[in-house]
Amino acid sequence: MKEVKLFLGYAGFCEAKESHSIRGEANKDIKFHALFGLIKHPEQGWILYDTGYTKRFYTCTKSYPNKFYANITKVFVTEADEIKNQLKHFGIKPADIKHIIITHFHADHVAGLKDFDEATFYCSRKAFKQYKEISTFWAFSKAILKDLIPKNFDKRLKIIEDYGKPLNDEIFGKKHDLFNDDSLLIYDLPGHAAGQIGVELKTLKQQYFLIADACWNRKSYEEMLLPPAIVKLFFDSWQDFKDSLQKVNLFHKKFPKITIVPTHCSATTSALVSNNYDLDVL
């Protein structure tokens, strides 16, 4: 694969029960960090993988029906946590971000989109279709807050299936080469959210598969352990979730040296996220 540079960071977090990540785990609160990735591509420039939380979440959930979302999901984010402020440590301005890959439209993945006026957005057709078709009133029921999305979003969007070159894949059936240069490979990982996608990339030191919320704990894909049935209430498709998890499990078995990164798995991300803002660590 063509090499890129990668920095992984946290942009806020929410609290959830550990037992919600895998059936049978402890019934205690844990942090579900909102992971983001800053990617430096040799030709395409600065790219973001998701945008984490911003304080806009609080504004968007002050009144009902969106307040239901905030009541269910306790979110913690400060101005310093917001990506636009973390970028200052790299000497990067929001206008320098040219591309943003949206894994899915849940609030902890898109809350920072409005900070990047010069970026082109990329998401799957199914994810965009759900975002467009669901009513603003009921969107919170799918963890979507439409107020977080820029007004000119549609004009700045490229649908991954239309833009990236399709490639055959032995495990997933297909994948898309986003920039047609073997640098960022996009995989379908539906289930947790409609049209969710993951990204495979390679740095000088390591190869990574960023799988968003295809699972919340590495034990899930390693041992095929499912979350409890209650989470079905919040998933787009339970069957698709299980199918995606099975494919990630097969990917892990076939490519054990590739680091798989679930967004909310602290057991994985704690070793990858650092307060040292350095693009040459990962």
What token pair was written down for 90?
Answer: 């790299």
Residue 26 pLDDT > 80: no
Q: What is the pLDDT of residues 231-261, one digit of tens each?
A: 888 899 999 999 999 999 999 999 999 999 9
Is pTM, for the whole model, over 0.85?
yes
| 126 or 276, which is more confident | 126
Residue 49 lies in a domain: yes
Q: What is the pLDDT of residues 77-89, one digit of tens each?
A: 999 999 999 999 9
Amino acid at 215: C
Residue 274 lies in a domain: no
Residues 6+ apart with CB under 8 A from 155: none
Residue 279 lies in a domain: no
Total number of domains constituting the chain:
1
Q: Are the beta carbons of 218 and 203 closer than 8 angstroms? A: no
Residue 277 lies in a domain: no
Strand 45-49 relative to strand 97-101, pairing: parallel
Residue 206 lies in a domain: yes
What token pair was written down for 117?
Answer: 């006026």
* Cα end-to-end distance, the chain, whole Å: 16
Domain boundaries, position 138: 5-269
Residue 281 lies in a domain: no
Residues 6+ apart with CB under 8 A from 133: none
Residue 278 lies in a domain: no
Q: What is the pLDDT of residue 234?
A: 83
Cα separation, 191 vs 260, in Å, equals 18
Strand 75-76 relative to strand 5-17, pairing: antiparallel
Residues 6+ apart with CB under 8 A from 128: 157, 159, 195
Q: What is the pLDDT of residue 204?
A: 97
Considering only CA atoms, which of 281, 150, 40, 168 is closest in space to residue 273? 281
Signed CA dihedral, 129, 212, 97, 54: sign only: positive
Residue 159 lies in a domain: yes
Q: What is the pLDDT of residues 27-58, one digit of tens each?
A: 888 899 999 999 999 999 999 999 999 999 99
CATH number for the domain spanning 184: value is 3.60.15.10
